[in-house]
Amino acid sequence: MKRLFNVLVAVFVVGAALYFFLNRTDKSEGEAPVLAGAPSAAALLVRGEYLTKAADCIACHTVPGGKGQPFAGGLPFVLPFGTIYSSNITADPETGIGKWSDDDFVRALHDGVRADGKRLYPAFPYTSYTALSRNDVLAIKAYLFSLPKVSQPNREADLGFPFNQRWAMGFWNAAFFKSSRFEADASKPPAWNQGKYLATALGHCAECHTPRNFAFAMDAGNNLAGESIQGWRAYNITSDAKNGIGAWSDAEIASYLTTGHAEGRSSASGPMGEAVEHSLQYLKPEDASALVSYLRTVPAKAGKNPIEVDAKAPWAVAASAAAPAANTAEGHEQGLRLFAAACASCHQWNGQGQQSTNASLLGTRGVNDPDGSNVTQMILQGVKMRVRDQEVYMPAFGKAYTDTEVAALANYVIAQFGNKQGTVTPEFVAKQRAR
């Protein structure tokens, strides 16, 4: 019995030592590339505001639609194992982070540990923010602390056992996370390093665009090859010419990032629309160009469920702006009627769009995706964002149409403008509604 006890004690000691060894943190401060919008000589709050926007903090920490106060948290993230709610990051001392020290804030972003010592879930992208320099992290903190305080209690995560055991995140971190700062590649131009810092640390593009493994950790071997998140497809943005953005021009990529639209390529909506509205549109042209230069070099990957874009879908090309192509009606009678009633006046029958270029459909990946995730979500939720003093708007039809009608409309749009056979079902639409 004593021998068994000694063995158990030894196992516990070794296990604990291994646990803390694998969760050791990098105490280096790191030297971040100097961004055009946040020069080192700028005032602290000026730098902090630019960096906070580049990091898109407001998108996750604010309930949209005027239902929540800026940075007060409460936005739900529905995950395979439960729901997590973003936290209040205003300087309110009781419900926010007003009592956090500089070291507390840095530890949260670098190591995923709260001021009370409890571990954060990686829905908060500390796995990307860990690469931020300490100076940039503290500039963000200074800006957040300059904003109005909001008293709003945080909502506890709705997770079942064992996912509700925050301490167990230590094992996840040991397997899938490394606390480390950004290291510039001396063999690359300064602009490339600036772009990589923007994409990997501040903008944390991989958090949405990279596939997840069985443990919900990012699959580094398929970096930026596309993933489905919150009911939307975050598309492949590797340099793959067929399935990614390798065939896009620099101007097209920059336009999409900073305005949410690239002619003949895509119009942003959903989470990407939020990223454009709250973050990317504010990048200085030099920083946007740097981001493009880095994305150009991301290794090409086909990704899962690749989308082949038919930029010259015969049905749409054959149609005039004012009349449908008759040969798309077969099997899509209901969808055609719905499109005629609610969509054609803005999108036009040839998909070129009217009044706003954002309404163009031809050549976009959404209408070329038989799965129809993004087309369905756009029908259900609509689009509403403000970019460069322009209101981009599409009404939501979720309350007006049944699941069967939404499925019919989505499949018609995919056939008409993508030359594909859509697979959207009423059951799928119901799931999309629930996200």
Domain housing 130: 32-149
Rounded alpha-carbon distances, angstroms, from residue 349 to 185, 262, 322: 49, 20, 6
User: Quick check: is 203 in a domain?
Assistant: yes
State the CATH number of the domain containing residue 393: 1.10.760.10
287 and 338 share one domain: no
429/335 Cα distance (integer angstroms): 14
330 domain-assigned: yes
Residues 228, 327, single domain; the answer is no
Cα(34)–Cα(194) distance, integer angstroms: 7
- Are residue 322 and residue 283 in the same domain, yes or no? no
The pLDDT of residue 4: 39
pTM score above 0.75: yes
Q: What residues contact 347, with CB distance under 8 A and at least 6 apart?
A: 339, 353, 354, 359, 360, 361
CA–CA separation, 193 and 199 (whole Å)? 10
Residues 77 and 142 in one domain: yes
Domain boundary among 91, 122, 149: 149
- Domain CATH number, residue 283: 1.10.760
C-alpha to C-alpha distance for 245 and 229, rounded to whole angstroms: 19
Using only C-alpha atoms, the chain has a radius of gyration, in whole angstroms, of 23
Domain annotation covers residue 11: no
What does the pLDDT read at residue 318? 64
Q: How far is CA 223 from CA 75, 212, 259, 292, in A?
A: 26, 10, 24, 16
107 in any annotated domain: yes
Residue 89 Ramachandran class (φ > 0 left, ψ -120 to 50 alpha, else beta): alpha
Residue 399 CB neighbour total at 10 angstroms: 6
For the chain, how many structural domains are there in total?
Answer: 3
Q: Is residue 273 part of a domain?
A: yes
Q: 179 is written with which tokens? A: 């606390």
Q: Angle at the Cα of 227 (from 226 to 233), degrees rounded to 5?
A: 95
**Count of H-run helices and E-run strands, the chain:** 18, 9
Per-residue pLDDT of the chain (435 residues; tens, 9 = 90+): 444 334 333 333 334 334 444 455 556 667 889 999 999 999 999 999 999 999 999 999 999 888 899 999 999 998 888 999 999 999 999 999 999 999 999 999 999 999 999 999 999 999 999 999 999 999 999 999 999 999 999 999 998 888 889 999 999 999 999 999 999 999 999 999 999 999 999 999 999 999 999 888 999 999 999 999 889 999 999 999 999 999 999 999 999 999 999 998 999 999 999 999 999 999 999 999 999 999 999 999 999 889 988 877 776 666 777 777 665 667 899 999 999 999 999 999 888 888 788 899 988 999 999 999 999 999 999 999 999 888 999 999 999 999 999 999 999 999 989 989 999 999 999 999 988
* Statement to judge: residues 271 and 326 lie in one domain: no
Structural domain includes residue 185: no
Q: Binding site membership for heme c: which residues?
A: 57, 60-61, 205, 208-209, 343, 346-347
Give the chain's length.
435
Q: Does one domain contain both 320 and 417? A: yes
376 and 279 in a common domain: no
* Statement to judge: residues 338 and 392 lie in one domain: yes
Instruction: Quote the CA–CA distance of 57 and 384 in Å, as a whole number.
Output: 19
Same domain, 319 and 429: yes
- Per the domain annotation, does 79 fall within a domain? yes
Same domain, 280 and 323: no
The annotated binding site is made up of 57, 60-61, 205, 208-209, 343, 346-347
Q: What is the DSSP letter of 123?
A: T
Is 174 a domain residue? no
- Please enumerate in sequence order all residues whose Cβ is within 8 A of that of 12, keeping only pairs 6 or more positions apart, or say none: none
Do 256 and 344 lie in one domain? The reply is no
Burial of 233 (0-12, 13-18, 19+ CB in 10 A): buried
Beta strands 266-267 and 261-262: pairing type? antiparallel
Q: Tell me which of 261, 295, 329 is where a domain ends.
A: 295
CA nearest to 364, candidates 305, 416, 293, 319: 416
Q: Residue 152 is which amino acid? A: Q
- Identify any residues that bridge with 62 across adjacent strands, giving them in sequence order: 73
My answer on whether 328 and 430 are in the same domain is yes
Tokens found for residue 39: 């020069």
